[in-house]
Amino acid sequence: MKLPQLGLVLFTFGNVSVADHKQKVFAIKPSGVPYEELTPEKMVIVDFEGHVIEGVLRPSSDTLTHAVLYKHWNEIGSIVHTHSTYATSWAQSQRDIPIFGTTHADHLTVDVPCAAPMSDDMIKGNYEYETGFQIMNCFNERKLDYKEVEMMLVGNHAPFAWGKNANKAVYNAAVLEEVARMAFLTLQINPQAGKLKDSLIKKHFERKHGPDSYYGQ
């Protein structure tokens, strides 16, 4: 319900799920239900193969993408998918979001990856299931760790973000949108803007993460 409040979705766009890895199930938003009408009872419980275990409503149409990611990435607690404007515009442009500033570096030390658009075979096959593999293949090819990079774009489609719990996943979806907006504006002001230098990337990331972090209370 935070997604519309944060301006990340319109109408019934987008979805959020939260996993219980011990029971190998996750709760996900029902398909086509407006955010203001959501209640705990309306959530659908699904296993990591995508089978509905509990609930009367049909789960989000993107359920199989979530199922694939939970099945293979066993330390993700929650996944958020939106079509937020700026992040989706980068996805539609098939461009990684360059690391231009310290806002970006506070959250990840690399460009936000944009996976290639799905192949025709994947689209004609089990589309939502294959979207999960498109995301994982992108991370494998680029040797990225999903625990360090908690946001990405699927080319021609839109962003996915995740985290250890729902609050962190929604936070990451909002950060991704803000970083996407800032990168767009940066290139408007200076199309030749350079990437952030390594010393600042390292400094900002380590302030918030790792053994010597000193950000927050």
Q: How far is the CB of 8 from Zn ion (least distance, A)?
A: 12
Q: Does 176 bind Zn ion (CB under 5 A)?
A: no
Helix H or strand E encompassing 201: helix 198-208
The DSSP line for 111-142 is: PBPEEPPPPHHHHHSSHHHHHHHHHHHHHHHT
What's the closest the beta carbon of residue 203 comes to Zn ion, in angstroms? 35
Q: Catalytic residue among 70, 127, 129, 215, which?
A: 215
Question: CA nearest 14: which of 72, 65, 83?
Answer: 83
Q: In the annotation, is 86 catalytic?
A: no
215 is known as an active-site residue? yes
**Residue 158 interacting with Zn ion (CB under 5 A):** yes
- Which residue, 79 or 158, has its beta carbon nearer to Zn ion? 158
User: What are the CB-based long-range contacts (under 8 Å, 24+) for 190-198?
Assistant: 193/100, 195/98, 195/99, 195/100, 196/99, 196/100, 196/101, 196/102, 196/104, 196/105
Q: Which amino acid is it at 97?
A: I
Instruction: Name which of 68 and 158 has its Cβ closer to Zn ion.
Output: 158
- Interacting stretch for Zn ion, rule CB under 5 A, among 50-58, 122-130, 156-164, 187-195? 156-164
Q: Which of 96, 106, 127, 146 is catalytic?
A: 106
Distance CA 136, CA 69 (A): 8
Site stretch for Zn ion (CB under 5 A), options 96-104, 143-151, 155-163, 201-209: 155-163
Q: Applying CB under 5 A, which part among 87-95, 112-120, 126-134, 158-166 lies near Zn ion?
A: 158-166
Binding site for Zn ion (CB under 5 A): 158
Active site residues: 106, 215
